[in-house]
Amino acid sequence: MSYNIIPKNSFQFDIHFCLKDINNKLDVIQYDPYVSHYLYDFLFETYKQVDIIQTNNPTLYDTIIKIINPYEFLYTNIPSFEVSVSKVKTEDPMLFDLIEITQMCGLNDFFSMPDSLSIGHFTLDNISSEYFINMIREEQTDIQNHYSIYNIFELYKIITQLNTNTNTYNCLFMEIDKELFHSNLYLFYLLLYVLLIMKQQAKGGTSIIKISYLFDKSIIDIIYILTCIFDKVQLVKPLVNNVVYPELYLVCKDKLVEPLTNSDTINNNEYSYLNELEKNIHLLFLILTNDNIENICIQSIIQLNDTTECLPYLFINKIEELNSIYGQQHLEILDQVINIYKNKSRDEKMDFIKKSHIQKCIQWCEKNQLPHNKFFEKNIFLCNSTEQ
């Protein structure tokens, strides 16, 4: 699947954090995305309609959201039943995302390595990613460490205190709470994960980060940097991922540089910007507090020379293409939510969609050889269903 590969870049650039205080609410209202302007405007207007539905009838909204997601019943109980389609018990669908990402991005060879892997889990529950590793590498004895990500200042403290000699990771799983996608914290978390990759990821390692759409210049700058320090970076939305939410995964394969504190090559021109990036991240967290973190905005992180912040056209075009592909899918689903809400025969329509999606879940489990419950047309689960 080559369409989701973000082009590699070899342009020389400087690190320059351009900060702005957004105490003025007008700054938020006048927000202008760096790319995909039309998509952003359409999403903004559609979100307003969906928010009205959620406010007016939250119970119905939650029901529609569950029904409209094709793979919701992989992990949540089907209405009127006490069982989900998958027999793998998890409340976090990230497990199923990772199974599909492994196939989409050709990670089977990486996860099949006979040597023990050192793995860092920086996710909301740390359970799904660990379950995935234990399932796909059941014959191996890996070193797995879990970290809390709920407080950004605690996370910064954890990352800065990690020892490169004892906490160098072959694989990192990183997640940002989707509730933060529209706040400044989204960028700050992403910066911390870049710091983590620079300092603690082994050369040749793989990182998987759950993110959102790419509109901001600063977010796109971070993606640009990652394409420079990894051999391949892919932006993917697994088929099984919840279509209602603007969630994507950044899959970074084969890190090209040693951990920051251990590498002699960091001092050369090719990767010297990493030292400056680390310095700027530390300076940023010196000024951030609980009181001002919602008001500090980073408008830009890199510039290619002394006069421009523009990124290469090939790179920007690919970002806009991927935004368009995933954003259009997202818009269609949100429109479907609105249409179902307005439909006078929505109960019948939702029942039809539910049955169709249950079958999709069964087919997905069969394809990925996961144990599951089978479902008949008469809406009866097999009591003694076989494991696939």
Q: What distance in Å separates the CA atoms of residue 238 and residue 308, rounded to the nearest whole number? A: 35
Give the pLDDT score at 308: 58
pLDDT digits (tens, 9 = 90+) for 19-49: 887 665 444 445 678 999 999 999 999 999 9
Amino acid at 318: K
Segments in the chain below pLDDT 70? 1-3, 10-11, 22-31, 165, 261-270, 305-309, 375-388
pLDDT value at position 268?
Answer: 56
| 382 in a structural domain | no
Close Cβ partners of 330 (under 8 Å, ≥ 6 residues apart): 43, 243, 246
Say if 115 falls within a structural domain. yes
Q: Which of 60, 68, 91, 100 is nearest to 242 (CA)?
A: 68
User: What pLDDT, on the 0 to 100 scale, is given for residue 264?
Assistant: 46
Q: Where are the beta strands (DSSP E) in 229-351?
A: 230-236, 248-255, 296-303
Domain of residue 215: give its range: 5-367
Could you tell me if 332 and 45 are in contact, meaning their C-beta atoms sit under 8 angstroms apart? no
Look at residues 249, 175, 164, 157 and name the one whose alpha carbon lies nearest to residue 203: 164
pLDDT at 148: 87
Of 159, 156, 158, 117, the C-alpha closest to 137 is 117
Q: Mapping DSSP to helix (H, G, I), strand (E, B) and coil, where does residue 172 land?
A: strand
**Domain-embedded: residue 375:** no
- Looking at the 3D structure of the chain, how many domains does it have? 1
d(CA 182, CA 377): 42
Task: For residue 83, tell me if it sits in a domain.
Answer: yes
Report pLDDT for 311: 86
CB neighbours (10 Å) of residue 387? 9
pLDDT digits (tens, 9 = 90+) for 104-121: 999 999 999 888 999 999
Q: Residue 386: inside a domain, yes or no?
A: no
Q: Is residue 376 part of a domain?
A: no
* Residues 304/13, Cβ–Cβ less than 8 Å: yes
Residue 130 is part of a domain; what is its CATH number?
Answer: 3.40.50.12760
Spatial CB neighbours of 285, under 8 Å, sequence gap ≥ 6: 153, 156
Residue 295 domain flag: yes
- Does residue 311 belong to any structural domain of this protein? yes
